[in-house]
Each structure stands twice: as C-alpha cells, then as structure tokens.
A and B are shown apart, each in its own frame.
Chain A
Amino acid sequence: MGKHVVVIGAGPAGLETSASLAKLGFHVTLVEKEDVSGGHLKKWHALFPTLLSGKDALETITKGLDSSIKIQTATKVTGLEAVNDYFTISGHNGWQEKADAVVLTTGFQLFDSHRKEEYGYGIYENVITSADLEELFASGKAFVNRHGNKPERVGFVHCVGSRDEKVNNLHCSKVCCITAVKQAIEVKQLLPDAEVFCFYMDLRMFGRHYEELYKEAQEKYNIQFIRGRLSESTEDRDGNIVVKVEDTLLGKPLRIKVGLLVLMAGMEPAPDTKPLANMLGLKNVSDGFIQPLDEVLHTNSTEIPGVFVAGTCSGPKSVSDTLADARSAALAVADYLKS
C-alpha cells in the first residue's frame, strides 16, 4: 500500500514535486487555491537565459504529471495538523485528506511596487513593473507606453523591494538582475532604435550563461548599465519619467528622462506561507520564508518530520533552481517515508 503525500501549491515547484513523487510510487494530492495550476509561470512570457517561452515551459512540466495524481484546485488550505504519524489537511470548501507527508510549495508573492512610492508606480502611468512588461510581451500587442508612444528610452530599475530595509526586505531576490538583462534585450529586439538603461547596485550574474547574456546585452544591443540606485522619479509635462540616480562610478548625480520605466519587482514570501507554517508549528519563519532544517545539508526538510519544502517558499529561486529543488524534495520525502 503506497503512502500518501499532499503537496500544497501548484506552481512549478508543486507540479514538479508531485510528478517526481508519483514516479517514485507515492499517492499524491496537489492542492491549489486558484482555479488553474501553474502559478506565476502562467503569466511569464519568456525565461532567462535561453528565452524559453513560459507557456512551453509550463506545458513540459505539466506533461510530467502522472494520471494518478489528484489535483485539487480552487481549494485554499485552512487546516493543517500533525496527528501522531500522519497529517490532516482540510480546505475552505470542506475538502479533507490524510497524508503521511506534506510538501509546502506555496511559492512567492511579487513585491507590491506601490510601496516604493518615490518610484511612482501607480502614480505615473509610464512606470510599470517587470511583471507588467511580461504581460505586455505575452499579449503580442504593439510595444508602446501608456501614452501610445514608442518609448525612445526605456529604464530598468533593479532591486525594487529587494535588498531594501525600508520595505523590510533585506534579502536579494536573485532573479531580477538577469531578468532585467533579458527584458532589456527583448525591448531592444522590439524597438531597435530605443536606448535602454539598467540602474543597478550590483549585477549578480551568478548562473550558467547569465554573464554571457549580460555580455550579449552590451555587445549586441548596446544596453547601458549605470551603477546607482534610484532615489526618486518625477513625471514631466509630456508624460516622460525623470529619474534621479547617482552615477556612483563617476561620483555625480544623474538625471535622465525615459519614456518607460520598468521596476524589477522582487520576491516576497507568499502571504499564505506563514499561516500554514503557524498551523504546523514551524518556528523559523520570522521573515516569512520557511527556514529549512539546514541551509547546506537538508534544504528540503524542516524541523518537523514529515513536513518538507520546495521552491520559492524557502527563498527566492529561478525556475530551473525551483525544478531541481522540487526533485530533490521528492527524494527527501521518499527517504523519510521508506525509513
């Protein structure tokens, strides 16, 4: 008789964990609060560093799902309890199941850029977020700003809501630097005549082929990288965004007008993560991300036996890292259930 695992959250991490667990012979229920699975990936146009389409990526991941996996969508988990050697999980709609192990794959939430008021999101029409830009790319519509013009200049602001204690986020979101480079290239592909600028504190090109993509952005697309963090932006009378930044490498304040300003919104813990952790009695969630048992050795286990984590609910990750983490979580679960 196979053991039963409940996976909470059907984004890339949840889908991949479920697929792997099913392949290992476990009964899996994948719970998702939304009507459709896929998480943030549903809305993402293309993935770095290869510009793989988000749609294709999601399709491939979903294809791996075994027919034995029960997908319980439109169900928000409201009860989660450890009882002796099993768990009971219940949803807002009366759904209830028992499980021998639980995997939390609750993911992240995109930082709400309204909270950086000085950058003008929600105030100036031509300030958008990286997510808005992906939607614009995905829509296939003409690339124009909110005033209907093709922007002559586009600015990308790194670290919006990341590495910023003013919004209580000390952490680096890892993916924004390379996403900005990717999106800058995509903008240049659509608007070859536009000038594109990236405003950054540090460029963290840590992944395989990230540095190459950065080099390509310079070499092939002449994208300008300005080392300085934005202090504020204003709108001029024509709806352009005037950006204030220090060109720290020159040691001079710099003022520049752009037709479109893209804020690289960072990753924050999903709002549902902490309540679930509290139901289980997980303690190390002070910043909202779940702390694994050991950050080097046991990255998928938690302080409670039978409770596992995968994907961005334990910290920012790229899609490729998330998928690898999900497979590793499946092995950790198998290890636990077979012992």
Chain B
Amino acid sequence: MEKKAKYFGYSITRDRQIDYDANNHDICKIIAKAEPTLNLCISCGTCAATCTAGQFTDFSLRQVILLLRRGETKSLENEVSKCMLCGKCQLVCPRNVSTRNLVIQIGKALYDKKLSAETVNTK
C-alpha cells in the first residue's frame, strides 16, 4: 500500500495520535509483573526533577512510565540506557516506586523484545 502510494508521488503521513488499540501492551504487563510498583506512579515528576541524566538528555522516568502504560514502546528504545542507577529518584518518590528495579526491568524487557524480533526476522 505504502509502496503504491509512493509511485503516485505522495505518501501517507502517520498521524500523531497514540493508537492505543494497535499498540503493544504486553511489555507493560511483563514489567508490571516484575516490578508491581510501576502501577503506583502518579506522574508527579519528582524523579525527573532530581535526575542527573534528565539534566543533560530528555530522559524522564515519569514520561517513560507513561509511554509504557500507553504501549508506546517504540519511542522507549534507548531511553533507560541513560540511567546511572544512582537511586536519587527512589529516594524522592512519594509513592515508593522501586524506580531502580523498574529501570532495569524496562531495559531488559526491551532488549528481550529486540532479541525476539531479530530471531523472527532471521527466520
């Protein structure tokens, strides 16, 4: 379909809506199982305020959690790799989210997803 469109000299712009129905929600479930405190986040942003990585990059754990909950996992790739695991976020979180484990679980789940995608492709 997209290829055809190209021949006619125009392309379809993907709209910017979160396509909640089409998105992958399995990863969020896997991570919430590994670190249930994920569900406690109230998006106050204290973690992002104190975060060193957030000073230099657009990394925000609050945003990562929201993207995860909406199934926007594509934009999550390479996000948590900026985290230094220093633990400040865990110390300031008013809801006692285990942020460090959450970050590790997100990183690992995305890596596993990448791996499984690669094995599917090579098959």
**Contact of A229 with B96 at beta-carbon distance under 8 Å, contacts A244-B50, A251-B63, A253-B54 already known:** no
B49 touches A228 (CB 8 A): yes
B43 touches A231 (CB 8 A): no
A166-B43 Cα distance, complex, nearest whole Å: 16
A245-B88 Cα distance, complex, nearest whole Å: 14
Checking B44, B55, B92, B95 against A248 with a beta-carbon cut-off of 8 angstroms, the contacting residue is: B44
Q: Does A193 contact B (CB under 8 A)?
A: no
Q: Does B25 contact A (CB under 8 A)?
A: no
> Which residues 65-123 of B have a CB within 8 angstroms of A?
88, 91-96
A297-B94 Cα distance, complex, nearest whole Å: 31
> Which residues 203-232 of A have a CB within 8 angstroms of B?
227-232
Residues of B within 8 A of A246 (CB): 45-49, 54, 60, 62
Q: Does B42 contact A (CB under 8 A)?
A: yes
A231-B86 Cα distance, complex, nearest whole Å: 15
B94 touches A163 (CB 8 A): yes
Residues of A within 8 A of B60 (CB): 246, 251, 253
A115-B38 Cα distance, complex, nearest whole Å: 26
In the complex formed, the residue of A with least CB distance to B49 is A231
Q: Does A201 contact B (CB under 8 A)?
A: yes
B94 touches A166 (CB 8 A): yes
Q: Does A287 contact B (CB under 8 A)?
A: no
Residues of B within 8 A of A201 (CB): 42, 44
A251-B93 Cα distance, complex, nearest whole Å: 17
**Contact of A244 with B96 at beta-carbon distance under 8 Å, contacts A201-B44, A229-B44 already known:** no
Question: A124-158, CB under 8 A of B: which get 1 and which 0?
Answer: 00000000000000000000000000000000000
Number of interface residues of B (CB under 8 A): 23
Q: Does B51 contact A (CB under 8 A)?
A: yes
A159-B58 Cα distance, complex, nearest whole Å: 26
**Contact of A231 with B58 at beta-carbon distance under 8 Å, contacts A118-B92, A166-B93, A166-B94 already known:** no
B62 touches A231 (CB 8 A): no
Question: A161-182, CB under 8 A of B: which get 1 and which 0?
Answer: 0011110000000000000000
B96 touches A253 (CB 8 A): no
A229, A244, A245 interface centre (most CB from chain B within 10 Å): A229
A231 touches B96 (CB 8 A): no
Residues of B within 8 A of A247 (CB): 45
Residues of A within 8 A of B62 (CB): 246, 248
> Which residues 246-265 of A have a CB within 8 angstroms of B?
246-248, 251-254
A254-B55 Cα distance, complex, nearest whole Å: 9
Kindly list the 4 A-B residue pairs having the minimum CB-CB distance in the complex, ordered from nearest: A246-B45, A231-B50, A231-B49, A248-B45
Q: Which residues of A approach B to under 8 Å, CB–CB?
A: 118, 159, 163-166, 201, 227-232, 244-248, 251-254
> Would you list 12 pairs from A and B whose C-beta atoms are within 8 A, ordered by A residue?
A165-B96, A229-B45, A230-B46, A231-B50, A231-B88, A244-B50, A246-B46, A246-B47, A246-B60, A248-B43, A248-B45, A253-B55
